[in-house]
A and B are shown apart, each in its own frame.
Chain A
């Protein structure tokens, strides 16, 4: 397994290069990314009457607040977090489905976040995406053959008809779908098979980087294993780099080279997978890990978090986690913690860890 063998080395370079402006090895760099969604509608709807005067009133959902991440070639970076933490938004911005409010995305050293669709086209071949819901990610009015031929026709306009067909046959075989089924429509397949087809579509253009947004969470347990295996095989065969979005920590432990834990639009901890699972530092990571239902005998000893996730409309001051954190103090309420590198390749955004009280 190449990516496992790579893991320590990657982690080492990552720690070494941290602090410098943009390490040269990283395939994808995310710098100080923020994304706000307006809740207030258009200009006319924003006007409010306040104290006898007409004021413009705007409300925003702060989906991402200053996320910086590096993804090294050949690794699988998993982003975990609960719903609404902004993990899918990061994925969609990376793929250019959303435009960031501020910040930069660099792919192979070049900025891609402000490119026009035409300028982005060469990158579309290099980076692809796999979606969560296999029931919605295939066009119901297109046959599998058409679905898979479309990206090839677009990116290889001078290919012969046979060449396109051979490539489709090749990717279908590689994901374990009988090429003779090409004439069928998506709805004639089961969820697992549809996800295989979606993976085949992403692999058809021979990408080097794949963003997978919760690719297995809509599937059954036994099918999850099949798809996860498929993704790992594909990684080996095509030397892929993954940005893997999930809420399932068990999958992360198995699949990820490194893990980034997100909470309310910020990264609280980034660490090599083994290190994170052996010694989670951030109080939120600890709570998250204790909440996984285990098969073992003992009753769950999970850390109970008080309260609920605050709304991203009015972000709490200071550390976004302070309201639910059992260790929060005055500084946590005031000051936003920065991601600080620890000795073992971990980076944690927590005043408590920084001060050594945790």
Chain B
């Protein structure tokens, strides 16, 4: 007899799970999650937390430009982290910028996941020609770098709809570009685990029962392929944030008036030589910390969920 205590509710199952157990024992994961949550909270509460609204041109005074952070001489008291070249409060604009970066990162990953999981599921389960076509499509997609897709899409949109349109919908554009560029990662991961699951007997049992392909795919196979999807999602979010930063740094992403962390780094880059290093380095540090904690969390999650490392 398996004489386990009856675990009925979802919460009780979570409480007994290895995930929580391991989390309680991994201080690095706890620290990373704490930092990550702080950053996310701070970013999304930017309108309340930030001392000024950087999007509001009336609050900006060009005479306040390039003021240093508080620990350097010459700092002005209410600009804690100093100001940028346009006189915007650096703390405020970093908070708003982090929010933009996170929105793009999560949005792009959701798009990637929807596309990738669907295509991967279809390719893996149906096999044959569908598999061949979808996977070749993925190969073609992967052979274009995100940058190239961004340049092409950006150029096309700017040429047809005008650059003001592009600036207005820059967040959506970036989500679309990064989402489209990286879906093959998901498709490949999901396809591989669908192939493994498909050969298991519960799928045969469902077929013998007479269930249709669609129900088997979405009700039986899909839920069992989600662990690797979660694991790569963390890495993909970090990647998407980095991609966005890179695109913005190259001037292909967010406009200066509505900066993300990447465009902040770019805007400050010209002033490093003139001694105003903080305009670049502080947003840079925030970006590094954000991406690092996400990656570390991803590593931990992968270790926990990898059935080869933990057999339970």
- A and B bound? yes
User: Which residues in A have their C-beta under 8 angstroms from that of B6?
Assistant: 181, 183-184
* Docked CA distance A318–B212 (Å): 43
Could you list some 20 contacts between A and B, CB below 8 A?
A96-B207, A97-B204, A125-B210, A129-B205, A131-B204, A132-B201, A133-B201, A136-B201, A136-B202, A137-B200, A137-B205, A138-B205, A154-B209, A154-B210, A154-B211, A155-B210, A181-B6, A184-B6, A188-B2, A205-B209
Quick check: which of A23-31, A60-68, A116-124 contacts chain B, the rest being far away? A116-124
* B1-36 interface with A by 8 A CB criterion: 1-2, 4, 6-8
Does A183 lie within 8 Å of B2, measured CB to CB?
Answer: no
A42 at the interface (CB under 8 A from B): yes
B275 at the interface (CB under 8 A from A): no
The 4 closest A-B pairs by CB, nearest first: A124-B210, A137-B201, A141-B223, A131-B201
A193 at the interface (CB under 8 A from B): yes
Does B132 lie within 8 Å of A42, measured CB to CB?
Answer: yes
Interface of B is mostly: helix
Does B208 lie within 8 Å of A124, measured CB to CB?
Answer: yes
User: Which residues in A have their C-beta under 8 angstroms from that of B145?
Assistant: none
* B209-253 interface with A by 8 A CB criterion: 209-212, 220, 223-224
* Docked CA distance A120–B2 (Å): 38
State how many angstroms separate the Cβ of B217 from the closest Cβ of chain A.
Answer: 13
User: Which residues in B have their C-beta under 8 angstroms from that of A188?
Assistant: 2, 4, 7
* Docked CA distance A154–B211 (Å): 7
User: Which residues in B have their C-beta under 8 angstroms from that of A344?
Assistant: none
User: Which residues in A have their C-beta under 8 angstroms from that of B201?
Assistant: 131-133, 136-137
**Given known contacts A117-B210, A133-B201, A141-B223, A183 and B8 CB-to-CB distance under 8 angstroms:** yes
Does B224 lie within 8 Å of A124, measured CB to CB?
Answer: no
User: Which residues in B have their C-beta under 8 angstroms from that of A34?
Assistant: none
User: Which residues in A have their C-beta under 8 angstroms from that of B210?
Assistant: 117, 120-121, 124-125, 151, 154-155
* Docked CA distance A58–B211 (Å): 34
* Docked CA distance A150–B224 (Å): 17
Instruction: Determine the residue in chain B with the shortest Cβ distance to A95.
Output: B208
**Given known contacts A150-B209, A198-B205, A193 and B8 CB-to-CB distance under 8 angstroms:** no
User: Can you name 4 extra interface pairs (CB under 8 A) apart from A131-B201, A137-B200, A150-B209?
Assistant: A117-B212, A133-B201, A137-B201, A139-B224
Instruction: Determine the residue in chain B with the shortest Cβ distance to A124.
Output: B210
State how many angstroms separate the Cβ of A288 from the closest Cβ of chain B.
Answer: 26
User: Which residues in B have their C-beta under 8 angstroms from that of A120?
Assistant: 210
Question: Which listed residue, A42, A97, A141, A184, touches B208 by the CB 8 Å rule?
Answer: A97
* Docked CA distance A311–B1 (Å): 43
Does B208 lie within 8 Å of A139, measured CB to CB?
Answer: no
Question: Which listed residue, A92, A136, A150, touches B211 by the CB 8 Å rule?
Answer: A150
User: Which residues in A have their C-beta under 8 angstroms from that of B2?
Assistant: 188-190, 193
* A209-232 interface with B by 8 A CB criterion: none
Does B200 lie within 8 Å of A136, measured CB to CB?
Answer: yes
**Given known contacts A42-B132, A141-B224, A201 and B205 CB-to-CB distance under 8 angstroms:** yes
Does B202 lie within 8 Å of A138, measured CB to CB?
Answer: yes
User: Which residues in B have their C-beta under 8 angstroms from that of A133?
Assistant: 201
A241 at the interface (CB under 8 A from B): no
User: Which residues in A have their C-beta under 8 angstroms from that of B208?
Assistant: 95-97, 124, 128-129
State how many angstroms separate the Cβ of B88 from the closest Cβ of chain A.
Answer: 49
User: Which residues in B have their C-beta under 8 angstroms from that of A300?
Assistant: none
Instruction: Determine the residue in chain A with the shortest Cβ distance to B213.
Output: A117
User: Which residues in B have their C-beta under 8 angstroms from that of A193?
Assistant: 2
